[in-house]
Structures are given as C-alpha cells and as structure tokens.
Structure 1
Amino acid sequence: MKTRNVLSVIVLLGLSFSSLAETAPIPEDKVATLRLAPIDVEPTPPAMQKVINSDVKQVRNYPMQPPIIPHRIDGYQIDLKVNKCMQCHARNSTGHSQAPMVSVTHYMDRENNFLASLSPRRYYCTQCHVSQLDAKLLVENDFIDVKHLMKNAAKNEH
C-alpha cells in the first residue's frame, strides 16, 4: 500500500513540474513561424498575380493532371442550377464556341455507365480545374513527359 502512495506522489510531482515547464516563456527568436512580421504588425500584402487569359491550351505538368483553365473565370456561376463552364464546353456547345469538349469521363457514373447529362460528381469544375496565374514558380518542376522519356530511350539504344 505504501508503494502505491509513494508512486502516486512521484507521478503527481512529475505532472506538476511538467506543467510548470510548459508555462515557461519561449524567447521570440526561438519560435518557428512563417510570419515575416511581428505578430502586432499588419504587413501590406503582396499584389495579386494576374490570371493568364490567353485561351491557349497549357502543357500539363504531370500525368493525369486536369487541364488548366486558360482564361478568366471571375464571376462564373457554378451551383446546383447553373454551370457557366458548360455553356462552351458541353458536347452540344463546342461547335459554336470552339472550346474543347469535356472528357467523356465527365458523363460517366461511378459504375462507368454513360449518362445523358454531366455526372454530379464531375459537375463542379473548379474542384479539379484551376486558372493559371502569371506568378514565379515557388518549387522547380523536373517532370519529364513519358513521350520524351521514350524518345530518349530510343536514342540511347542506337
């Protein structure tokens, strides 16, 4: 019984000392943060980058990447009643708009059955497709397309 009491006292003392250690102030220069200004200063935010609005199809950066939207979509309505994107990208609209048609996969359900209209799981375009900004790269991309890999492999064989 005495051993339990002694252990309980040791545990309680350890907990009380650990709580004291947690409340000790940490010097400001030792705190890891992404802030570029002190917490009590409101810095001026950087200017927003412009959206590339060229209507030129962009090269994809990795396999199976959803195509990038090559134009502005500010104010596009995409909700349960209206999908502005489909005014140009639907099967029956590409003739007059000259926009690429959405993939046939957008007309398939989860069991790969073809639907007469856009699949509900593919309805909200901007959950996969994004506009491209005219901004500097934050991370270098060394992706090499399989077509180029195959071409290089063929050259190395000869």
Structure 2
Amino acid sequence: MLPNRNTSEKETRNYPEQPPVIPHTIDGYQIDLNGNKCLSCHARARTAESQAPMVSITHFMDRDGQFLASISPRRFFCTECHVPQNTANPPVSNDFVDIDTLLSRASPGGRR
C-alpha cells in the first residue's frame, strides 16, 4: 500500500464544484454515527486553534437550502465526497484537460 500525501498544501481543483481533496492522512480517523474526527480541526469553533480551513457553509444547509446551526446530517460523512491523495502513479494514462486550458487553446473568435 502506498503512503498518502501528508502536506498542508491545498490541491488544485480540476473543475468547478469539485470537493477539495484531503491533503493529509486520515488513517484511523473515526467518521461514523458516533463521531467525526475531521471536525476536531475543521469545525467552526476549532479552526482558529488548528489553522485548518473551516467546513464550507454549504455543509450547514439542509436539502431545502435552509441554514442549520450545526453540520447537516447529509454532510456529516466527509469521505463520501472528500478523499485523501496518495503517492501512487495512475494505473492508466489520463489526458484530462481543465476548462481554463481548453478555453486558452480556443481559436480567436471562438466560444468563450
């Protein structure tokens, strides 16, 4: 098993609305109905001490768009969307190109 990246650097997102990846190891983190280790650093009340980014405001909204006082139960299980990055080489080649690169390649007068 290859090691996960373990850095404080933010990864570049490849497309709008991409959930940020986890730049550090989460081995052994409890994330279940009884607790969420991520919130020990990323909860609103803990970010000044931990210097970790706060959980997005979108995580405090219910399905009707109403804001809640605490994290929505729908957003409590972080690893459903956020994943740690490891040091593995991709098993297959990838020619993904983000939209900014595509737009910069567009011919003059092309769609922008």
* 2:49 counterpart SS class: helix
Q: Does 1:157 align with 2:104?
A: no
Deviations 1:128-151 (A, max 9, x none): 111111101123332333333334
- Of structures 1 and 2, the one scoring higher in RCO (CA 8 A, sep 6+) is 2
Deviations 1:12-65 (A, max 9, x none): xxxxxxxxxxxxxxxxxxxxxxxxxxxxxxxxxxxx111111121112234422
Stretches of 4+ aligned residues off by more than 2 angstroms: 60-65, 139-153
Going by fraction, where is helix more abundant, 1 or 2? 1
Structure 2: how far apart are the matches of 1:101 and 1:113? Answer: 19
Which of 68, 73, 84 lines up with 1:120 in the alignment? 73
Structure 2: how far apart are the matches of 1:126 and 1:61? Answer: 18
* 1:157 counterpart SS class: coil
Aligned ranges for residues 1-158 of structure 1 at < 5 Å? 48-153=1-106, 156-157=107-108
Q: TM-score, normalised by structure 2?
A: 0.84
Q: TM-score, normalised by structure 1?
A: 0.62
Structure 1: how far apart are the matches of 2:64 and 2:44? Answer: 21
TM-fit CA distance, 1:109:
0.4
Structure 1: which 5+ runs fail to align? 1-47
Structure of higher CA gyration radius = 1
Deviations 1:57-85 (A, max 9, x none): 11223442211111111111112232110
Pairwise CA RMSD: 1.8
Q: Percent identity?
A: 58
Structure 2: how far apart are the matches of 1:118 and 1:139? Answer: 37
Corresponding residue pairs, total: 109
C-alpha contact (below 8 Å) 1:52/1:133 kept by paired residues: yes
Structure 2: which 5+ runs fail to align? none
